[in-house]
Amino acid sequence: MAIKAIFFDQDGVIIDTERDGHRVAFNDTFKHMGFETEWDVEYYHELLQVGGGKERMKHHLKTRGFGVEVHEDEVDDLIKKMHRFKTDRFIELIESGSLPLRSGIHRFMKEGEDAGLTLAVTTTSNERAAHAIAYNVLKDIPFKFVLAGDIVTKKKPDPAIYLLALDKTGLQPEECLVVEDSRNGILAAKAAGMHVVATSNFYTQREDLTPADVIVTSLGDPGGEKGELIKGDIPDYNGVLHVHQLIHLFG
């Protein structure tokens, strides 16, 4: 079947947000709340194996604590309050322009648009943050929809968000290409029966991304950063991954 849609994860795919965006915003939140908690670069990689920001804070609270006693009946409200502040801080970082787009992502999206493909964002990141990126930073990209946050109850690696994307488009899994960066995201997309391209980054380059059909270190740009092809049959690959190459590969 021909490829008719591309679904993009957000964090680590569109913007390399995890290390210098989300992690910084979480640490600013802990400081604001008066907690002596700080997530360093290595520990945050461990936390990334837990899907969702609220879930990561709950995991940390249960395993390491915030340095003060938090009663069980206060946990949900506290986490929601912290996550709201964290999201505001994260969006400030995005809108300030301090978190640039990953190499090749805008070009790749434009190629998808020119090819007449449906483009959408499928992320477990907060909806406000997803909208800030999709509708402000990438305002010239015609996304059909943005699925984000708690729109599904189960996070990646559960395929729920991709099954919802299929339902919204009415397409078959084989007609859809997903761009992900993490093992959890890849497993979610593959469980939904979709083709997957992985673009690794600082954190996910250490994960097992081999379930993806194609793996590159970045999508690459003709006049800028070039990627490295780790997995996939792309005969004319030269450091820049193009949509037409994937349409041919999976079509």
Answer whether the bond into residue 157 is a cis peptide, omega within 30°: yes
Nearest to 27 by CA among 49, 73, 60, 70: 60
Nearest to 130 by CA among 183, 53, 202, 59: 53
Q: Which residue's structure tokens are 């020119």?
A: 114
Distances 60 to 26, 50, 118, 142 between C-alpha atoms, Å: 12, 10, 38, 38
Distances 132 to 6, 15, 128, 205 between C-alpha atoms, Å: 20, 12, 6, 26
Residues with catalytic function: 9, 11
Cα gap 75→58, rounded to integer Å: 8
- 65: phi > 0 → left, psi -120 to 50 → alpha, else beta; which? left
